Structure 1
Amino acid sequence: MALYIKGGRVIDPANGINKIADVKIEKGIIAGIDDYSGAITEADEVMEAAGKLVVPGLIDIHCHLREPGLEAKETIATGTRAAARGGFTALCAMPNTKPVCDSQTGVEFVINRAKAAGLVRVYPVGAITKGSEGQELAEMADMAACGAVAFSDDGKPVPRSDIMRLGLQYAQMVGKVIISHCEDPELAKDGVMHEGYWSTVLGLRGIPAASEAIMVARDILLAESVGAKLHIAHVSTARSVELIRQAQWRGVNVTGEVCPHHLALTDADVEGFNTATKVNPPLRTDQDREALRSALNDGTLTILATDHAPHTAEEKACEYNYAPFGISGLETAWPLFWRELVESGVMTLPSFVAAMTVAPAKRLGLPGGTLSTGVAADVTIIDPEYTETVTLENWQSKGKNTPFVGQTLRSWPVATIVGGRVVMRDRQVIG
């Protein structure tokens, strides 16, 4: 039996495809686009996609699934349900779990749990340092050998330059990318929002933009000195953008990602003290937001990621100063990015799709990101005209910490297909 996706606008930036076409899936594999032999039989399944977008399965290279050790916030099972509802077919799980994913055992645990409980593909990111404490390199070669796709101490910076340099060298040796959480811990210490006008008005301790930019500059220089691959997580400031742009002009192998909340919100949105707006790096200024948009427009930044960071309701139900950082972002990422980047004309539709498919896949060497004949059938179908108001009624993540409740957004994933298996249809997760 084959699955036919009929009459949708197929956008596959990896192959330069942007046309109304049919996609055939057979035995979990893309069997072709448009050019088939044989007619559709009664045994075949047909998904009508007229008026919809048919794109490679979305890939998120930055999310937190919390398992093991923090299952009250999220599990691999619930996180992958949220991903399926958000149109994602593959996730890269950050290592800041308890215990930290800093060994072969940790990587294998994530892989095995994802196979047993997950609806979408999960790729582990290993820690750069043991326990993400920044003092001693983790078992990077062993983790790479058993399935780690990249290395990061995300949630924390690597404060020691000598250790970060060694990490970059080891990552280069095993052909992996370092994903850097760029933050000067002393400058950011005790800060809860962006340092500026609104932190002063609200009486909250600020995190200066320089805290991020200083570490972006350091890590770029270190990567440049050893010829390593560097990816800057959750870029949030104009100065960071300029540093990345200048480094790329010099030929440094550095990329960066943008998260939906840094495009959809600014530090002014903290005014109501809604702890769902507390995120690290913090919501920045209008000027910073415009710099991110410009960087996505000109290709300086090429990857869109969620930094999905779920927390329990109890943890967020406190004074702003004491709430944990993080926004639960998998389920609203596409429509938020659509509003901020496509409807506003910042990105063309093919470049936007590429930033959530082929660009992250290529950067980390992941399978997927394309609808090429013969590859696994990971497909997302989007209805660009469908509107939905964000509520927690059908929310799949354990983390309900989203500042977008009540907002009506346009353009939502309506079907998610992983390896030819439909795991979400009509906004409902299956399985």
Structure 2
Amino acid sequence: MSTLLKNGNVFTPNGFKKTNILISNSKVSLISTLDDTSFDNSIDCNGLYIVPGFADVHVHFREPGFFYKESIATGSLSAARGGYTQVCTMPNVNPAPADLKSLDVQLEIIKNDSVVHITPYATITSRGDGRSTLSKMADMADYVVGYSDDGKGVQTGELMEDAMIMAKSLDKIIVAHCEDESLLDGGYIHKGTYAENHNHKGISSESEWVQVARDVELAKKTGCKYHVCHISTKETVDIIRRAKAENVDVTCETAPHYLILCDEDLKEEGRFKMNPPLRSKEDRAALIRGIQDGTIDMIATDHAPHSQDEKSRGLQKSPFGIVGLETAFSLLYTHLVKKDIISLEKLIELMCINPRKRFPLTGSLYIENDTPADITVLDLSKKYKIDSKNFLSKGKATPFDGEYVIGDILYTFVDGNMVYDYKNLPNYQK
């Protein structure tokens, strides 16, 4: 089966170029003339933009163990709806992938149910708790993208150093949720924050950046590849900027909500509760500078679905986590590109190119002849209203519900197969 995408603006190594793409045998060919071209299907892409499929190195698909929150099937459909062709699943599932036997449970489900490419993480520790002994890292190395105890920070420098030494020997990356739990017990709250004003105990900035500073020094010492999850504070940005200047092998990500919202936007609803929490305007400004100057390498969604019942318990009692795969591009295009904060090309770098430069992922950096047919077709003029009821994810909690955005995904192809077609989304608001 072959598909012709006609007259699209295609993202090539030389920028966007108006041309035709033939998808055949899971590969892409750029075709300037159509005189002798044969194909089975054709899509007119005039006025549309065709880019490499997005890659998200930080998602939670909850299966095995928490099928009621999300499954590999629904999570991957949600990813395809958002234009993602590759995602990396975090290991806080049950059984946690701490050895090859437990990892195989997840790998089998991925093989059978996913419509996009999924590469899982294994845990750093045997219980994924940031405290126990190391997992069977060597046994799982050939099957995972890296190691993470996401949701828990590794609580001692000694344990993190041991993990980094092992990861270095395996040529793998440590991916850290940085949170020093000793700084949470006192309910650290910054003056003037929403948390203080509404009698909530906040999660301190220090709990993030103190551990980032520790790990950067350990990465420098061990030579391990090190990546920081969902950074949210101005101090973290500065630490990583200095580390890169010293040639430490460190990268980081932030998430769309930290670039768009701040603590002043919080409401007493579970859909505003995530970890790290929304920070101050000053922190948000530092994150924006970080994506502009390259300190922040990529944007990941931290897609973290929960049931509607769990997220209906208010800001205090709801679990941490919001969903983001289906809205990430539209939100970032609306709030960053349309407001001239970054260019479209920079956004593609953050969502497509840099994740693949840092992690061993499928897909390509640009669309060229004979590259994998993992591609996304965008309509940058399309305006629509975010309606969580229409999400393909089981999770519906998003702070952006009801917001109008510009720019949407029309088609997503994985291995040359169309895995998302906007015309077939039920109740979609055109």
> Would the TM-score normalized by the shorter structure come out above 0.5?
yes
Unpaired segments ≥5 residues, structure 2: none
The change in CA–CA distance for 1:196 and 1:216 in structure 2 (over 3 A counts) is farther
Q: What is aligned with 2:36?
A: 39
Task: Tell me the CA shift for residue 57 of structure 1.
Answer: 0.7
Task: Tell me the CA shift for residue 266 of structure 1.
Answer: 1.0
TM-score for the superposition, normalised by structure 1:
0.94
Q: What is aligned with 1:259?
A: 255
Q: Which amino acid in structure 2 is aligned with residue 408 of structure 1?
A: Y
Within the alignment, does 1:247 sit opposite 2:251 as a pair?
A: no
Contact residue 310 and residue 398 of structure 1 kept, 8 A: yes
Q: What is aligned with 2:327?
A: 332
Contact residue 62 and residue 94 of structure 1 kept, 8 A: yes
CA distance in 2, matches of 1:252, 1:66: 33
Tell which deviates more after alignment, 163-172 or 188-197: 188-197
- State the percentage of identical aligned residues: 36
The change in CA–CA distance for 1:197 and 1:53 in structure 2 (over 3 A counts) is same
CA distance in 2, matches of 1:195, 1:49: 52
Task: Tell me the CA shift for residue 355 of structure 1.
Answer: 1.2
* Match for residue 130 of structure 1 among 99, 103, 126: 126
Q: What is aligned with 1:118?
A: 114
Task: Tell me the CA shift for residue 109 of structure 1.
Answer: 2.5
Q: What is aligned with 1:106?
A: 102
* Match for residue 214 of structure 1 among 178, 186, 210: 210
Aligned length: 424
Task: Tell me the CA shift for residue 349 of structure 1.
Answer: 1.6
CA distance in 1, matches of 2:162, 2:409: 41
Q: Which amino acid in structure 2 is aligned with residue 6 of structure 1?
A: K
Within the alignment, does 1:48 sit opposite 2:34 as a pair?
A: no
Q: Which amino acid in structure 2 is aligned with residue 23 of structure 1?
A: I
Contact residue 413 and residue 427 of structure 1 kept, 8 A: no
Within the alignment, does 1:149 sit opposite 2:145 as a pair?
A: yes
Tell which deviates more after alignment, 355-364 or 279-288: 355-364
Q: What is aligned with 2:402?
A: 406
Q: Secondary structure at the match of 1:129?
A: coil
Cα offsets for 1:374-407 (capped at 9, x unmatched): 2321000110111111113321111111111111
Contact residue 364 and residue 372 of structure 2 kept, 8 A: no
Q: What is aligned with 2:279?
A: 284
Contact residue 90 and residue 120 of structure 2 kept, 8 A: yes
Task: Tell me the CA shift for residue 34 of structure 1.
Answer: 3.3
CA distance in 2, matches of 1:340, 1:297: 14
Task: Tell me the CA shift for residue 193 of structure 1.
Answer: 8.4
Q: Which amino acid in structure 1 is aligned with residue 55 of structure 2?
A: I
Unpaired segments ≥5 residues, structure 1: none
Contact residue 96 and residue 103 of structure 2 kept, 8 A: no
Q: What is aligned with 1:311?
A: 306
Task: Tell me the CA shift for residue 106 of structure 1.
Answer: 3.0
CA distance in 2, matches of 1:47, 1:341: 29
Q: Which amino acid in structure 1 is aligned with residue 138 of structure 2?
A: A
Within the alignment, does 1:268 sit opposite 2:264 as a pair?
A: yes
Q: Which amino acid in structure 2 is aligned with residue 296 of structure 1?
A: I
Contact residue 7 and residue 50 of structure 1 kept, 8 A: yes
Q: Secondary structure at the match of 2:406?
A: strand
CA distance in 2, matches of 1:178, 1:429: 37
Task: Tell me the CA shift for residue 120 of structure 1.
Answer: 0.7
The change in CA–CA distance for 1:171 and 1:55 in structure 2 (over 3 A counts) is same
TM-score for the superposition, normalised by structure 2:
0.95
Cα offsets for 1:223-273 (capped at 9, x unmatched): 011111111100101110000000000000101111011112111122x30
CA distance in 2, matches of 1:428, 1:326: 28
Tell which deviates more after alignment, 241-250 or 204-213: 204-213
Q: Which amino acid in structure 2 is aligned with residue 287 of structure 1?
A: E
Within the alignment, does 1:28 sit opposite 2:46 as a pair?
A: no
CA distance in 2, matches of 1:422, 1:211: 43
CA distance in 2, matches of 1:170, 1:307: 26
Q: Which amino acid in structure 2 is aligned with residue 345 of structure 1?
A: D
CA distance in 1, matches of 2:97, 2:80: 24
Task: Tell me the CA shift for residue 368 of structure 1.
Answer: 1.1
Q: Secondary structure at the match of 2:356?
A: helix
The change in CA–CA distance for 1:154 and 1:2 in structure 2 (over 3 A counts) is same
CA distance in 2, matches of 1:301, 1:427: 35
CA RMSD of aligned residues (A): 1.8
